[in-house]
Amino acid sequence: MKKIVVIDGHPDPDPARFGHVLAAAYATSAKDAGHEVRTIEIASAGIEVLRSGKDWEKGEVPAAVKDAQATIAWADHVVILFPLWLGAMPGLLKGFFEQVFRPGFAIGTGKRALSGGLLKGKSARVAVTMGMPGFFYRLFFFSHSVSSLRRNILYFVGIKPVRQTLIGTVENPASRARGLETMRRLGREAK
């Protein structure tokens, strides 16, 4: 059985948001299949954005960030869900990664700075919701936000493999139902 952290990256705290529904469906299915699951909700995590490189390198780490770091350190598998906003992840989620993946936790310092990341041994699933069809985003936009997250953040801190799930045309009830079933299946399979 796996230890899974679900990072619900929708910045709107309204529980009716489809991203929250998908995160809950994944978590419930994973728990029902016997996996341990913890959830980090970006909308209510209370993590502020960083304002300078100095803060990132040497600033005091807030308690909410330490809690998120402990949860990620505990997990074998990281599931990240977010809506596609302006072609990328929402700014609050990006700010979360900047705060949490600091030197000493996610990347080495000093001689270990280029060690390939300190979170080795973890896998990830990135699930993105969007208004356009998922295949269109993949074929014409090359899933650039997922590629950037995978290469520039997750691989950098040592998390791999990273798999993606694109849930498109979310305003369509049939697409929403398929997306919900996909997340339930992935939760059961801990993928």
Res 170: pLDDT: 97
End-to-end CA distance of the chain: 12
Structure token digits, residue 189: 């399979």
Long-range (24+ apart) CB contacts under 8 A made by 62-68 are 62/99, 65/99, 65/100, 65/102, 68/40, 68/96, 68/99, 68/100
3-189: CATH topology: Rossmann fold (3.40.50)
Taken in order 80, 183, 130, 170, the sign of the CA dihedral is negative
pLDDT of res. 113: 65
Neighbouring C-beta atoms of residue 72, cutoff 10 Å: 21
Q: Which residues of 129-143 are buried (b: 16+ CB within 10 A; e: fewer)?
A: bbeeebeebeeeeeb
Element (H, E) at 138: helix 134-141
Residues in the chain: 191
User: Taking the model in full, what pTM does it have?
Assistant: 0.95
Q: What is each CA distance from 152 to 78, 98, 156, in whole angstroms?
A: 16, 12, 6
User: What pLDDT does 57 receive?
Assistant: 84
- Reading the chain (191 residues) residue by residue, the pLDDT tens digits are 999 999 999 999 999 999 999 999 999 999 999 999 999 999 999 999 899 988 888 889 999 999 999 999 999 999 999 999 999 999 999 999 999 999 999 998 876 666 679 999 999 999 999 999 988 888 888 888 999 999 999 999 999 999 999 999 999 999 999 999 999 999 999 99
Distance CA 180, CA 64 (A): 29
Q: Distance between CA atoms of 115 and 92, rounded to whole angstroms?
A: 28
Q: Closest Cα to residue 6, out of 40, 29, 31, 57?
A: 40
What pLDDT score was predicted for residue 141?
Answer: 83
What whole-number distance in Å separates Cα of residue 143 and Cα of residue 139? 8
Residue 3, classified by CB atoms within 10 Å of its CB into exposed (0-12), middle (13-18) or buried (19+), is: middle
Boundaries of every domain in the chain? 3-189
